[in-house]
Structure 1
Amino acid sequence: MKRTLTVIGIGTGNPEYVTVQAVKALNRVSVFFIPNKGDDKADLHHLRREICDRYIEGDNYRLVDFDIPERSKAGKYTSDVSAWRAEVRAIYERLLAEEIGEDEVGGFLVWGDPSLYDGTMGILDSINATGRFDLDYDVIPGISSVSALAARHKVALNRIGQPLTITTGRLVSQGLPPDAGNVVVMLDSRDAFRNVDDDLGIHWGAYIGTEDEILVAGKLGDVREEIERVRSAARKEKGWVMDTYLLSPGADEDAS
């Protein structure tokens, strides 16, 4: 069963972060699959619709909403993620079978960039491996929260001759890797910055690029409580927080 798809990175919440390449791809899609992650994240759902309304010429397309199951956190992380992806794959297979014709192009609008902490491509590859569908898909990169964070704080991500590490809050809570250089932390649901060296510099941002954006920067020991306060207040108000931060050892240096 032949199916043609495009996976489009839409940036971090600001419709102006949608690239020209993404706009062209949007206008090639016949049916968009729009994930619903519950009432708390309804604004993410609405943003995807807003992007379609803003950038697609004409109305020769349709939107298909689908519910995303909540990932279990009861077992080992890798096992929970694997089980969750299997559930999502079954949903994608149903959408491909029931909601898209052979002459149509399906589209997934991915928050940030599809290559960075997003499972869409992996799930599509696993579907392809079953042989049930002959999937032909392309990928449009998006402005990630990592790039947007650096731009909004007007800092470079790297130091001269030093590595840049991108990791998760779950791993940082177990300790920073040695010789990691500057460290970008994503998906931090456990406030891992509480457990790292006070002397590190931090550039923190939530809802980056949107009207709700919050930015805090400074020596971690000086701004940790402020970050905790604004992060807690934002989560209470919106029901969710999507934040990213950069940890930097020592004094600022020129980057290259």
Structure 2
Amino acid sequence: MIDLHLIGIGTGNPDHLTRAAIAAMNAADLILLPRKGDAKSDLIDLRRTICADVLVGATRIVEFDLPERDSTGAYLDAVDRWHDAIADAWTAEIALHLPNGGTLGLLVWGDPSLYDSTLRIADRLRAKGMAMRVHVEPGITSLQVLTAAHAIPLNTLAAPVLITTGRRLRAGGWPSGVDTLAVMLDGGCAFETLAPEGIAIWWGAYLGMPNQALIAGPLDRVGAEIVDSRAILRARHGWIMDIYLLRRG
């Protein structure tokens, strides 16, 4: 039996860890850290730093190479194949390092419930017959860090918020019935497809990290600045994680 603990670690700042997350890390027999290639080496460096800061016992740390997603073909099909490959990688590491069962910890950016597929990948392992109990330690999300960094409320008074992706915003435009959008996983500045008049944006990259970048203002005045800043930061670091809030009216 594997006890799998999915541990939300926020956006990379060790100060964002909860006591429950720290306890789960120290209770684990093994923590797996995924490597995502040289261009994103500082992502695993952040995970290493978090482990060094909070682990006090005999928890083992093992690094493994995360499979890359094929960018060709239909998006959902490519993601499905990618998740299968990740599940296979987990299975191999578990067989090698926890052959008799035990407690496994995986560190998840933000929170495992919000635009993260770790829970779905765990379901694939159970569907293939692995005896597994799954536990989730919630973490601070990038959306929370974004609103805190800009010192703004997520919603307007008594109004809803829609959390969506850049891909959906680009394909479908602004959804009806809502004036506030939180946009995640946007690889191409989908806000450029909108008529910018009357829209405000609060944007943040590398939230909670030392290289955090923030821009806010009317979209028609700061949109181009965000596009330029994002390109510069991505070239400088080799990767970028960003999120933004859009509000009409």
User: Quick check: TM above 0.5?
Assistant: yes
The number of residues matched between the two structures is 247
Q: Structure 1 residue 228: deviation in Å?
A: 1.0
- Within the alignment, does 1:37 sit opposite 2:36 as a pair? yes
Query: Map of 1:24-103 to 2, 5 A cutoff?
Result: 24-58=23-57, 60-102=58-100
**In the alignment, structure 1 residue 8 sits paired with structure 2 residue 7:** yes
Secondary structure in structure 1 of the residue aligned to 2:45? helix
Q: Which residue of 2 aligns with 1:253?
A: none
Task: Output the amino acid matched with 2:83.
Answer: R
Is residue 242 from structure 1 mapped to residue 217 from structure 2 by the alignment? no
CA distance in 2, matches of 1:11, 1:166: 18
> Is 1:144 equivalent to 2:141 in the alignment?
yes
- 1:185 aligned to 2:183? yes
**Residue 205 of structure 1: SS of its match in structure 2?**
strand
What is the distance in 2 between the residues matched to 1:214 and 1:85? 31
Q: Structure 1: how far apart are the matches of 2:9 and 2:217?
A: 29
Match runs of 1:192-207 below 5 Å: 192-198=190-196, 199-207=198-206
- TM normalised by structure 2 equals 0.96
- After TM superposition, the structure 1 = structure 2 runs for residues 209-220 of structure 1, keeping only pairs within 5 Å, are 209-220=208-219
Q: Give CA deviations for 1:54-113 in whole Å, capped at 9, x if unaligned.
A: 01113x121111111211121111111111111111111112222114353111001111
Q: Which amino acid aligns with 1:61?
A: T
2:105 match: 107
Does the 8 Å contact 1:114/1:120 carry over to 2? Answer: yes
8 Å Cα contact 2:27-2:59 kept in structure 1: no
Please report the TM-score for the alignment, with normalisation by the length of structure 1.
Answer: 0.94
How far apart, CA to CA, are the structure 2 residues paired with 1:248 and 1:4? Answer: 42
Could you tell me which amino acid in structure 1 is paired with residue 225 of structure 2? Answer: E
Correspondence for 1:162: 159
Shift of 1:37: 0.3
Contact persistence 2:32–2:104 (CA under 8 A): yes
Q: Where does structure 2 lack aligned partners over 5 or more consecutive residues?
A: none
Please give the alpha-carbon distance, in whole angstroms, between the structure 2 residues aligned to 1:95 and 1:137.
17
1:137 Cα deviation from its structure 2 partner: 1.9
Distance in 2 (CA, whole Å) between partners of 1:169 and 1:78 is 15
How many angstroms does 1:217 deviate by?
Answer: 0.4
How far, CA to CA, are the matches of 1:101 and 1:54 in structure 2? 28
Deviation at 1:181, TM superposition (A): 2.6
The answer to whether the 8 A contact 1:6-1:105 is kept is: yes
Q: Name the structure 2 match of 1:23.
A: 22
User: What secondary structure sits across from 1:173 in the alignment?
Assistant: helix
Residues 4 and 106, structure 1, Cα contact 8 Å, conserved in 2: yes
Across the aligned residues of Structure 1 and Structure 2, the Cα RMSD in angstroms comes to: 1.1
Q: Which runs of 4+ in 1 moved over 3 A?
A: none
Give the letter aligned to residue 70 of structure 1. E
8 A Cα contact 2:84 2:124, kept in partner = no
* Distance in 1 between residues matched to 2:101 and 2:82, nearest whole Å: 30
Return the match for 1:125 from 123, 126, 139. 123
Give distance in 2, aligned partners of 1:13 and 1:116: 16
Identity %: 41
C-alpha offsets along residues 118-172 of structure 1, whole Å, 9 cap, x if unaligned? 11111111211222x1101200011110010001101111122321100111111
- The aligned amino acid for 1:245 is Y
The aligned amino acid for 2:98 is I
- The code of the aligned residue for 2:205 comes to A
1:201 counterpart SS class? strand
Contact 1:197 1:220 in 2 (8 A): no
